[in-house]
Amino acid sequence: MGLRIRIFLCITYSLFAFIVFLNSGTTIYADTSIYRSAGWVATDGNPAYINTTGCQVSNDGLYCSRPNALSSANLYFSSFGSLSAFGIPQNAVITKVHMRIRGRNNVAQYVGVMDIKNHIPFQGICEFPSDLWTFGLGATDSVWEFHTVLTAQNKLINCITAQSIDAEKLTFRINRAGPVSWWADIDNFEIAFDYDPPPPPAPLKTPLIIIPGIGGSELKTIRIRPWLEDNGHGGIFAFLYSANEIVWVNEAAVLLPELDDYFDILRMKSDGIIPEEDLGLTGDLYARFYQSTIDSFKTYGYALNKDLFVFSYDWRKDNTLAVELLGQK
């Protein structure tokens, strides 16, 4: 029996050092920002509100006050702060707006919003319907809250965005127009948002080294090698190996009967330590057995020689030599 047959009978191709850490995904939960008051307050109407600095802090005894009268008046709030001021990360998706109004009044009033910064008079409302936010505080101090999901139906999804918040391009208005005489004392107007955080960056992949089993690394000749040696079964095998010839695994040679002893060049001397011929490494693994494994890791985003490496070694020799080489990877 030639060495070719003996090798194929005794070699088992196996991988013995795969460590794979694959990201299973991170669940992202919605979060709620802090509430913030307006940095800019303005008014118009006949009569308009007075003391526009009185409705930016809660429970301080100060109000933005509208005297009792029949006609309309508006109170505007803007410059609430950027995303970072609200504690919202960049690239978050805004999903809900919260409003908290403190004060007192004697009639129903309406809140509106437009995607313009510090703007008066009011124009181009975002919300639908126009009376989406209607509130009545009563004659004594109280709090009214709105918690509204942003949807295409209420037209807020394209108005209240991370971009408009970060640029402070939102102006809210509290409005009331006749036909009855009315008054209002607004103590504070605050807003907050629900948001979905941006997805976390893809984690760095754990570098992997594919270590083949016996026979898994390609071996090649280093020089031209005339071979004229006992074939071990009563004859002489003669062959001229060219330089850099891939001898393991030369599948073409396997198919030729006259090259039954082609793999004799892989033999070790009688001491089992020194090879009959020093062979070099191509740096590749035996593709028939390992290419599908490499391709599989590539589908998970691994890149060869970046975070995926192959370790080829002369599997004919003592494993301690391979361990030393592995330590250099």
Question: Of 45 and 323, which is predicted with more confidence?
Answer: 45
Q: Which of 297, 315, 314 has its CA nearest to residue 305? A: 297
Tokens linked to 328: 């250099």
Domain, as residue range, for 301:
3-23+203-326
The CB-side HSE value for 148 (13 A sphere, CA atoms) comes to 24
Q: 44 and 121 in contact (C-beta within 8 Å)?
A: yes
Choosing from 141, 167, 196, the residue where a domain stops is: 196
Per-residue pLDDT band at 17 (split at 50, 70, 90)? very low
Whether the Cβ atoms of residue 253 and residue 45 lie closer than 8 Å to each other: no
Task: Retrieve residue 289's tokens.
Answer: 């057995």
Mention every residue, 6+ apart, whose C-beta is less than 8 A from residue 247.
Answer: 219, 220, 221, 241, 253, 262, 263, 265, 266, 279
Q: Roughly how many angstroms between the first and final C-alpha of the chain, as a whole number?
A: 39
Mean pLDDT (whole number) for 16-38: 64
Those residues whose C-beta lies under 8 Å from the C-beta of residue 70, and which sit 6 or more positions away, are: 178, 179, 180, 181, 182
The 3-state DSSP class for residue 222 equals coil
How many CA atoms does the CB half-sphere of 62 hold within 13 Å? 12
- Could you tell me the two tokens for 243? 């330089």
Give the model's confidence band at 282: pLDDT under 50 very low, under 70 low, under 90 confident, else very high: confident
Q: Are residues 157 and 290 in the same domain?
A: no
Are residues 251 and 278 located together in one domain of the fold? Answer: yes
What are the beta bridge partners of residue 32? 194
Higher pLDDT, residue 164 or 206: 164
pLDDT in tens, 199-233: 887 777 888 888 888 788 889 999 999 999 888 88
Structure tokens belonging to residue 65: 């006050």
* 49 shares its domain with 174: yes
- Does residue 317 share a domain with residue 264? yes
Considering the domain architecture, whether residues 182 and 275 belong to the same structural domain is answered as no
Q: What angle do CA 247, 270, 211 make, to 5 degrees?
A: 45
Strand segments (E) across 225-269: 225-230, 236-241, 246-248
Q: Are residues 184 and 252 in the same domain?
A: no
215 and 319 in a single domain? The answer is yes
> Is pLDDT at 54 greater than 80 in this prediction?
yes
User: What's the angle, vertex CA 111, arms to CA 107 and CA 114, rounded to 5?
Assistant: 155
Top pLDDT among 103 and 311 is at 103
Q: How many domains does the chain have?
A: 2
Quickly tell me which residue has 């194929």 as its tokens.
Answer: 8
| Greatest Cα pair distance in the chain | 122
Is-above-0.75 flag for pTM? no
Is residue 176 located within the same domain as residue 263? no
Q: What's 56's domain CATH number?
A: 2.60.120.260
Is the pLDDT at 189 greater than 60? The verdict is: yes
Residue that is last in its domain, among 145, 168, 196: 196
CA distance 223 to 243: 4
Going by C-beta distance under 8 Å and a sequence separation of 6 or more, which residues neighbour residue 43?
A: 49, 52, 64, 73, 74, 75, 76
Which pLDDT belongs to residue 196?
96
Residues 226 and 189 in one domain: no
The reply to whether 172 and 221 lie within a common domain is: no
Query: Which of the listed residues 196, 223, 254 is the one where a domain comes to its end?
Result: 196
Same domain, 89 and 65: yes
Residues 129 and 277 in one domain: no
Instruction: Judge whether 133 and 99 are in contact, CB under 8 Å.
Output: yes
